[in-house]
Amino acid sequence: MFLPGNAYFCSAMKKIHYIGIVLFVFCLCCRWFPAVADFYARVCYPAISAGLSFCASAVDFSLEEIVVMGFMAAFLWVFVRTLRARKGFRWYLGKNALIVMWLFVWLYMGWANNYFRTPMQARMGIQRQLFMEETFNDFVYDYTDSLNVLRNSGNLPSPQAVEEDIKAFYNETLPRYGYTTLKGWQHPKKPLFNRLYSAVSVSGFLGPFFCETHVNRDVLPNDYPFTLAHELAHLAGVTSEAEANFWAYAYCRHSKEEALRFCGYFSIFPHVASNVRLFMSEDYYNYWMKRNVHADIRERYAAEREYWEALRIPFVDGIQSWLMDASLKHNRVNSGAREYSEVVGLILTMEAWEQAHGL
């Protein structure tokens, strides 16, 4: 049946919206039923992430921020059109509902449905290591000794060599834990609005719309490997911030390069320090920090904090911290932004599990 141009376009758009509704329902099923999310993570996500990132690889700049600006422009267009054309309130709500639906579908089908899959420890039958003071004390002192010994390590490999090395390690290791492999065209990009990320001390992020990894241009050279490894872990399908930190630490720790090993140890230093303060006495913390941690480490840590503090904009940082915490909790990360520091517990758990299984 022949339809005029406008009618044909409207009919096609209605069919596309029906597809959006089906995908929206699928995303809700992922949230409600872990088996559906597991199917998405095993079958759908590897193909989706490969396809989206392949399309994004055609350009050197970030498409994620452009997509966000596009959705913001769409909301603004609906508002202006409602006022200028005197559309009714129902029209306004309907158009906004469609935009929200497609935003939700693209966000969750692109990556975020991974939040609802069966967690790695449950998939692998890994029992969480309960806190024991003696075990934690042994870890702290072994970790500190390694950190101190490696403090004068040499220069890091080039960023390109680091990227290839991370991908090789992850492609050998992560599939055994239910994650996807990384592709040759999936290269990190620099954010368009880099100053904004520095203002909130964000060193990197994974964009869910085109599965693009981003590393802040202000990241110091010695922090680059850990940051990239963290974001590439997310690209492989890891959603937990603690687990992404763990895999970044595991990559650095198993490296043959002393400089990369130091990067791993030093990058988790803030989390180790916060755990020592939380679980041990104040006297223990002060003795450990002043007598066991080498002065060079303390000075470097203080210098990096001052570096990021100089870039931070407190008001913007406060808003971002609240949004990040709310977003993680909305996606069933109960500890919110505090999850980053849970990497120490995961390291202890994984070390005990690997020893028990001879890995």
DSSP 111: T
Q: How many domains does the chain have?
A: 2
Query: Is residue 148 domain-shared with residue 261, that is, in the same domain?
Result: yes
* Last-in-domain residue among 116, 131, 154: 116
Query: Is residue 184 domain-shared with residue 68, that is, in the same domain?
Result: no
Q: Which two tokens stand for residue 102?
A: 């497609």
Query: Is residue 95 domain-shared with residue 146, that is, in the same domain?
Result: no
Query: Is residue 81 domain-shared with residue 158, that is, in the same domain?
Result: no
* Last-in-domain residue among 60, 90, 116: 116
Query: Is residue 111 domain-shared with residue 126, that is, in the same domain?
Result: no
Contact partners, residue 171, CB within 8 Å, separation at least 6: 181, 182
pLDDT digits (tens, 9 = 90+) for 61-77: 999 999 999 999 999 99
Query: Rounded to an integer, what distance in angstroms lies between the CA atom of residue 261 and that of residue 246?
Result: 13
pTM of the predicted model as reported, rounded to 2 decimal places: 0.90
Query: Is residue 318 domain-shared with residue 224, that is, in the same domain?
Result: yes
pLDDT for 359 equals 59
pLDDT for 8 equals 45
Return the closest-CA partner of residue 196 out of 315, 104, 307: 315
Whether 304 contacts 220, CB under 8 Å: yes
Query: Is residue 310 domain-shared with residue 346, that is, in the same domain?
Result: yes
Per residue, the 3-state secondary structure of 270-285, as one string, reads HHHHHHHHHHCCHHHH
pLDDT-based confidence at 355, cuts 50/70/90? confident
The residue type found at 229 is: A
Query: Is residue 274 domain-shared with residue 161, that is, in the same domain?
Result: yes
Whether 270 contacts 164, CB under 8 Å: no
- Which of 123-127, 197-201, 267-271, 311-315 has the highest average model confidence (pLDDT)? 267-271
Sign of the C-alpha dihedral, residues 24, 25, 26, 30?
positive
Whether 225 contacts 260, CB under 8 Å: yes
pLDDT-based confidence at 352, cuts 50/70/90? confident
Q: What's the domain range around 31?
A: 5-116
Query: Is residue 209 domain-shared with residue 254, that is, in the same domain?
Result: yes
Query: Is residue 235 domain-shared with residue 173, that is, in the same domain?
Result: yes
Q: Is pLDDT of 241 > 80?
A: yes
pLDDT for 358 equals 62
